Every structure is written in structure tokens, then in C-alpha cells.
């Protein structure tokens, strides 16, 4: 599989990443099952076999069980830790943590970042993370605290590189003004049906631009060499298996996806992901399925190249209207 280079990471990373959220079974406190463990091994093996070498986690995924079962899968598969890139996220806190009246919230305090990384390393059974991301913007962020935590984690060798998730360009700039380490990744929701980061530039100064301002985030990331990772890159399968009552734009885009897949002798998932890969920002889709056939179908995107015309036809169909 073709690769990208992330600053601060020696190992080139595959153009597709594997998201490990679903590996951990349920969101409840119930323990991992034998079936959960078998599914994790099969999913991780399928990703590795197709050239994926970067695996995305978060401390909250299935309340830590996703990281735990992933570590077990690596051991079962005898994977060399030095040949993969491990990424995890922190900053989201569940309701009831630490007291019954505590609300669900975001927490970028020094104490929470340090404690979260210690838990991540313990569950993943590793001495270090290649990349740590701050999961969702904390409205009470004090960048000096983030900088102190990052300095300690980097100096101790527990985290090699840092980034963010769901952040705007301005929020990244604020953090970067205090943090010495470069922020090298921004993980964002982007797909054909959630293309607001791309619309942001196309619709500037247009009446249609009513979505929350994306603040030039995609351009900011390109300008500063920040890898954009796309979560939910296939829009939960809406373009490969749309319901009959789906909106007209979804049905039209799904029809075009199927047409291109037939013409190029590939899968619908490959076309949807190739649309992201075609963007010159160098977007890295994060696959979130535990279905091994879907993993295989998705990885075919690495061999698909869309023309400008094909890319724009998909963009316009999914938007449900012509460009301004």
C-alpha cells in the first residue's frame, strides 16, 4: 500500500488507517467475550495483510476494552511493535467520572492527559505511543497545561508525536503557540456526505454557506503539513448500501458510486474512499469496520484513481446541487 510520512514518525504510514473502536465489543462494563477476542484477531490480521500499519485508538473506546483486546490480538499474531504505528486519543470524560454528578465533558488538564496516557499504555501493553491526539476541543483548555503534559510525555519517551482531533485551524494555532512539539495530525469527520471542510472553500462568500464555519481548517492543515485523518470515511455505508427512503442526493451519489465501481472493476467502498484519497491534502481514511470483507473491499481504494471530472461528479451528486 502507498504511504504517507508523518513528521516525527520514522515509519512511513499506510494511506489507510485502521480504527479500533469497534474491537472492544460493547460500551457497557461487561467484560470482553471469546467472540470479541476472535473478531479482534481476525480484523487486525485482515488490516495487516493488506498493508495497513497504523492503528487508531482512544482511551474511551468501549471504556478501554478496545485497547485491551487489541493488545491481546497483537500478541496472538506475533506482531513486531516496531513495525506498526499506534495512535490513541484522550480528552473525553464520561458522565459520572469521577463523581455521580459529573457531566460528560472534555478535559485537557495536565493531570487528565498524563493519567489518560498511563492508562492507554497499560491497556495497549506498550512502552510508548507513536502519536497522541487530543480528542475534542476543550472549551476550558489552558494551552500551558497541555504544553506541560506534552513536554513530560515526550521527554520520558512515552509519546513520540502529537496531534488533535476535531479541531479548527484557529484552535490548532492557539495550541501550537504554546506547545513546543509540532502538531502533526488532525482527525476530522469528512466523507462525501459530510464534505463541509471542502465546501468551506468552495462556498466562501456565498448565501449557501450556512453550516458552522470550518474556518479554513483544511487549508490550514495543508499549509502547516498536518496530516488530515478522516473518521467515518464511508458515511456508515450510506453510499454503498443506501436505504430506499434515503434523500435524493444520497441515492444519486450511490448510483454514481456503483457506476464508477463497475467501470473500474472495483468495489463501491473503494470508490468512496478513493474520493478522499484523490484530494491533494493527502487525506488518510480511518476504517472502522470489523467485517474482514469490508476491510478488503476498502483497501482496494489504494489502487483507484479518480479523474478531476469523476471526483467533481461525485462531489456535486452528494451535495445535491451544482457548484456556485
Annotation says 61 is catalytic: yes
Cβ 282 vs Cβ 17: under 8 Å: no
Instruction: Quote the cell numbers at residue 110.
Output: 495536565
Instruction: Quote the cell numbers at residue 2.
Output: 502507498
Q: Residue 230: beta bridge partners?
A: 188, 285
CA distance 167 to 104: 19
Kindly name the residue from 4, 18, 61, 196 that is annotated as catalytic: 61
Q: Is the bond leading into 98 cis (omega within 30 degrees of zero)?
A: yes
What is the separation, in whole angstroms, between the first and last Cα of the chain? 36
C-beta neighbour count of 193 within 10 angstroms:
21
Q: Phi and psi for 87 in degrees, rounded to 5?
A: -130, 135
DSSP state letters, 95-144 = TTSSSTTPPSEE---HHHHHHHHHHHHHHHT-S-EEEEEE-S--TT--HH
Instruction: Quote the cell numbers at residue 86.
Output: 499506534
Q: How many CA atoms lie within 13 A of 113 on its CB side?
A: 27
CA distance 216 to 259: 32
CA distance 169 to 174: 9
Nearest of 147, 145, 182, 178 to residue 161 by alpha carbon: 182
Residues with catalytic function:
61
Amino acid at each position: 500500500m502507498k504511504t504517507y510520512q508523518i513528521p516525527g514518525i520514522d515509519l512511513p504510514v499506510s494511506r489507510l488507517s485502521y480504527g479500533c473502536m469497534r474491537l472492544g465489543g460493547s460500551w457497557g462494563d461487561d467484560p470482553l467475550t471469546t467472540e470479541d477476542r476472535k473478531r479482534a484477531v481476525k480484523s487486525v490480521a485482515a488490516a495487516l495483510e493488506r498493508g495497513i500499519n497504523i492503528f487508531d485508538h482512544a482511551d474511551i473506546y468501549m471504556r478501554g476494552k478496545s485497547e485491551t483486546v487489541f493488545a491481546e490480538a497483537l500478541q496472538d499474531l506475533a506482531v513486531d511493535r516496531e513495525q506498526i504505528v499506534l495512535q490513541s486519543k484522550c480528552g473525553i470524560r464520561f458522565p459520572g467520572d469521577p463523581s455521580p454528578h459529573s457531566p460528560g465533558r472534555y478535559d485537557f488538564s495536565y493531570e487528565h492527559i498524563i493519567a489518560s496516557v498511563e492508562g492507554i499504555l497499560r491497556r495497549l501493553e506498550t512502552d510508548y505511543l507513536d502519536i497522541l491526539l487530543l480528542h475534542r476541543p476543550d472549551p476550558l483548555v489552558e494551552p500551558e497545561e497541555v504544553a506541560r503534559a506534552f513536554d513530560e510525555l515526550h521527554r520520558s519517551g512515552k509519546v513520540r508525536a502529537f496531534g488533535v482531533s476535531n479541531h479548527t485551524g484557529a484552535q490548532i494555532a492557539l495550541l501550537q503557540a504554546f506547545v513546543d512539539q509540532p502538531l502533526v495530525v488532525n482527525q476530522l469527520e469528512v466523507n462525501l456526505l459530510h464534505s463541509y471542510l471542502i465546501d468551506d472553500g468552495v462556498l466562501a462568500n456565498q448565501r449557501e454557506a450556512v453550516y458552522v464555519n470550518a474556518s479554513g481548517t483544511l487549508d490550514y492543515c495543508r499549509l502547516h503539513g498536518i496530516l488530515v485523518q478522516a473518521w467515518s470515511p464511508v458515511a456508515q455505508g450510506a453510499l454503498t448500501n443506501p436505504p430506499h427512503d434515503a434523500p435524493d442526493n444520497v441515492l444519486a451519489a450511490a448510483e454514481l458510486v456503483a457506476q464508477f465501481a463497475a467501470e473500474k472493476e472495483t468495489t463501491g467502498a473503494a470508490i468512496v474512499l478513493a474520493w478522499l484519497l484523490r484530494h491533494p491534502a493527502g487525506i488518510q481514511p480511518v476504517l472502522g469496520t470489523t467485517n474482514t470483507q469490508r476491510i478488503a473491499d476498502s483497501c482496494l481504494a489504494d489502487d483507484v484513481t479518480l479523474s478531476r471530472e469523476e471526483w467533481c461528479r461525485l462531489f456535486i451528486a452528494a451535495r445535491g446541487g451544482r457548484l456556485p
